[in-house]
Structure 1
Amino acid sequence: MNQDRRDLLRDAAVDVLAAAGARGLTHRAVDAAADVPPGTAKNYFPTRDGLLRAIAERCVEQYHRITAELAAAGPPTDRAGLATLLRALLANVAGPGRPRMLAYLELQSEAARKPWLSEILDAIAAADFAGLELAQRAAGLPVTPQRAATVTLALHAAIPHLLANGPSTLPAAGLDDLDRFVADLLDTVYPTDERQAPGLG
């Protein structure tokens, strides 16, 4: 099969899932979003589970592309650099990364009932915890696995609220000011009066 056409359909499927949710994910909707003849998506991905798998695999590919770009820029070397990185990740959720993250959250809901889908998405989550722990260590913070996981979980918990953009929820969660949110998160997990030494504790 034509790989360029397949990628076009996968990207269209991500957009459909993000815009219309799981109930709106149909082969016909994907064909329309990709501007291809009716039946094209079904030819490439015959079942709805096939569509979900294609979207999940595309999300994994996009995740690895983003992390590769971050790795090329080099790890943060201090607390301020880490704060800049975390703030940029959160800002991306409400900006160019919004469709991918909306699709990812829809996939997570589906994965609760589909173990095969959960297995695909698990690769993203596991890599996220490992990668953000490495970033915290590179920044010279007194990292423990528990502290590193707390930072990552806080970022993950912020994502649905940033996507929903609730006018009352964002200030309640401190997400109306991402610089302050990240600074407060790091100050809570890593109080500034602690000795800055990688791997302390």
Structure 2
Amino acid sequence: MPKSIAWILATMLVMLLLMMAYRLFVLALFAPEPAPASVGQLLWLGFKYDLRYVSLFTLPVLLASFSGSLHLFKSSAGKKFGIIVFTIFSSLLLLLYGIDVANLIAYNEHASGETFHELIRQQAADKKLMTDAPWVIIILLAGVGAWLLYLLHRLLHHAIGVKKSSDNKTMRLFWQGLTLLICVAALYGNIGTKPLQYNDAKQWKNEQAATAALNVFECMAHSIRY
């Protein structure tokens, strides 16, 4: 496996584990009633939502690695680009999780576009909003978490970079093509004529199950579209 693909897949795995841990947290604390679907089905659907957004951020890094000038291990610019993209995703993810937890505690539902519209409206009316203790704590925790993930991305890059590189062009193209196919398939999300949709989480007609299966990115995308 090429170093660039090994690092991309390792970083994707870290992000997916983080998102799955948050889903289990939501399932344990905000979905106390037994879901009518099995936990396995619920977690599988949630995994597909998570993989969609991890793949969305991975694609630019993957496509850039096809270029020699932005190769993740053969150029300084490529290394910086890959780490910056994944760090931005980590920072955004953790910040949204902090706001999402606050929204779940207050309203028992994920944060949406309307949540952020309300925050902006309140900030315009009350300049002290972002200096209130809860928001300061959320921002600080998100910042510390993002910094730790940044260090982890660099550590993974270094650990994979010291290994001997393969010169087999056929295998490199195979792994690049396979990873690209996985990311594109993850964006679609389903096997069939219909892509993965927000309403797929509503199939059990149970708010607790839907809250646990969905992630904050899908909720925001849905609220923006509708």
TM over 0.5: no
Question: Which structure has the higher relative contact order (CA within 8 Å, separation 6+)?
Answer: 2
TM-score (norm: length of structure 1) = 0.31
